[in-house]
Amino acid sequence: MAKIMVQGTASSVGKSILVTALCRIFKQDGYSVCPYKSQNMSLNSYITLDGKEMGRAQVLQAYAAGLEPEVYMNPILLKPTSDKKCQIVFNGEVYGNSDAKGYHNLKVEFKDELKKGFEELEKNFDIIVMEGAGSPAEINLRENDIVNMGMAELVDAPVVLVGDIDKGGVFASLVGTLILLSEEERARVKGTIINKFRGDIALLEPGLKMLEDISKKQCLGVVPHFTLALEDEDGAVELNKQVTDKIDIAVIKLPHISNFTDFDALSSEEDVSIRYITNVREFKNPDLLIIPGTKNTLGDLQALKISGLSDKILEYSKEGEIIGICGGYQILGKTLEDPLGVETNLKVMDGLGLLDIKTVFEEKKVTTRVEGTINSKVIEGIEENIDLYGYEIHMGKTTVGEDAMPLVKINKKNNHVENYFDGAINKKGNILGTYIHGVFDGVNFRQYVVNKLRAKKGIEAKASMEYESLRDKELDRLADIVRKSLDMDKIYEAIGIKR
């Protein structure tokens, strides 16, 4: 079975996007292809059709491969809850919480399951494109490794090593990484890729020749720096802080922000600028304020109060438009209770009090795909119901009081017929919240939100595009860029496929 593993000299060198590109290229070339990352650490997660949780990076890679995302593409997801602890999601379900040392010891238990799962994958696909995490040269973590060279050895996968020239020091990073590998690990590396190049490649070529001479590894290509409307993998990316277009949508960058991919569809809209706020000075006067999801709602609510952002939000709420998603929805409420200590040792906190809702945290995590409708009677200015869809990932149960109205009638949950309400909106109609991640992906709700902001600024209403269609075109553009940049004959040779 053909397979290839993309490893990097560090985090954020472009492993995820190159795996995405290779999945698309192999699919275009007529192969059945599947992405795979044994372990992903990210607060950006997704719920599959069967209600399982996985990392968002493998979701985009699945779409590139023409597949519905499934948890076998990312069997272990680590979701940090603090600087030292994380929640472990294994095969789509919560396994438990652990500190770094505890998880390092747990990895031995997962190894056999990973091998079995991977062997089943190999029966069903022509090519598996694997992704490492961070760097394979983290020599302190080499023992029990299940995501870089340890995983490559487990399934006998060839490796390509990626370095980011935009950071500087790419030659040293590639050579230094190879030096720190064992002789057996170096033999597994079939070549190097330089990513995010800007400028005249003729000036780089002498360095490529020297790199090959020093490393004894062929350079498989140089990928240019590019910008596409595709989601970023995790919080390691640099989030925009500037207003870049007519409509200013500001997102509070909570300390434990999760699922910021919720806003990718919004950023694809004409006239729209998405920026991230970390302090009071950056607040300014946005057209829409979004309080996003978080892995630590109570801790992040406390941080808002300490920073003074909570006061700024309260002042803005008198006339401004606010949307809260998941943890952000909970934060907008009157009280948040955590009697079981699910998130922190804080048992109860006052929320911002902008929505008449109360939240109690429960031990069981809700992980569901949902479809629903916003009744035209609930939101002023719409003449017909708004259909929307998305997914829920939360550990709280929220009740709506008399001074707010339920927002969304849920019609389907995990593809089964349902009949219950989600979210809330205040009577003035300028503050609303929902548990639904991906709520802007559907055309109807996104178009309503953005056109309402356009109308306030005297901008003509516009029809929104289907985000899925836009994403598919961007994936083809990505494949075209990377195909032209890499020596695909050498890539196929590395994975053992003759063309």
Catalytic residue among 86, 219, 326, 394, which?
326
Q: What residue ranges of the chain are covered by domains with CATH 3.40.50.300? A: 2-230+472-495
Beta bridge partners of 53: 47
Give the pLDDT confidence score for residue 375 in this predicted structure. Answer: 79
> What pTM was computed for the model?
0.90
pLDDT band at 234, cuts 50/70/90?
Answer: low
User: pLDDT, tens digit, for every residue of 425-459?
Assistant: 999 999 999 999 999 999 999 999 999 999 999 99
Give the pLDDT confidence score for residue 378 in this predicted structure. Answer: 82
Q: Residue 405: which H helix or E strand, with range?
A: strand 404-413
pLDDT band at 83, cuts 50/70/90?
Answer: confident
Give the pLDDT confidence score for residue 363 in this predicted structure. Answer: 86
For residue 130 the two structure tokens come to 């694997």
The closest alpha carbon to 69, from 86, 104, 44, belongs to 44
CA distances from 222 to 44, 226, 485 (A): 29, 12, 6
Q: Is 219 a catalytic residue?
A: no
Interval 239-245 mean pLDDT: 86
Q: Does domain 2-230+472-495 have CATH number 3.40.50.300?
A: yes
| 240 DSSP 8-state letter | P
Interval 305-315 mean pLDDT: 98
The closest alpha carbon to 396, from 351, 441, 453, belongs to 351
pLDDT band at 232, cuts 50/70/90?
Answer: low
Query: How does 303-322 read in b/e, with b if 16+ C-beta sit within 10 Å?
Result: bbeeeebbebbeebbeebbb
Interval 479-499 mean pLDDT: 95
Give the pLDDT confidence score for residue 262 in this predicted structure. Answer: 94
CA distances from 116 to 65, 72, 149, 382, 468 (A): 22, 11, 17, 52, 33
pLDDT at 380 over 80: no
pLDDT at 289 over 80: yes
Give the pLDDT confidence score for residue 271 in this predicted structure. Answer: 94
User: pLDDT, tens digit, for every residue of 187-203?
Assistant: 999 999 999 999 999 99
Catalytic residue among 34, 86, 219, 437, which?
437
Q: How far apart are CA 235 and CA 355, in angstroms?
A: 28
CA 55, 56, 58 angle in degrees (round to 5)?
A: 80
Q: How far apart are CA 157 and CA 494, in angstroms?
A: 10
Q: What mean pLDDT value characterizes the chain?
A: 94
For residue 22 the two structure tokens come to 């290779």
Q: What residue ranges of the chain are covered by domains with CATH 3.40.50.880? A: 247-458
Interval 451-471 mean pLDDT: 93
Give the pLDDT confidence score for residue 379 in this predicted structure. Answer: 80
Higher pLDDT, 80 or 25: 25
The closest alpha carbon to 23, from 33, 8, 13, belongs to 33
Interval 374-396 mean pLDDT: 86
User: pLDDT, tens digit, for every residue of 20-60?
Assistant: 999 999 999 999 999 999 999 998 899 999 999 999 999 99
Q: Is 437 a catalytic residue?
A: yes
pLDDT more than 90, % of the chain: 84
| Fold classified for 247-458 | Rossmann fold (3.40.50)
Give the SS3 label for residue 220.
strand
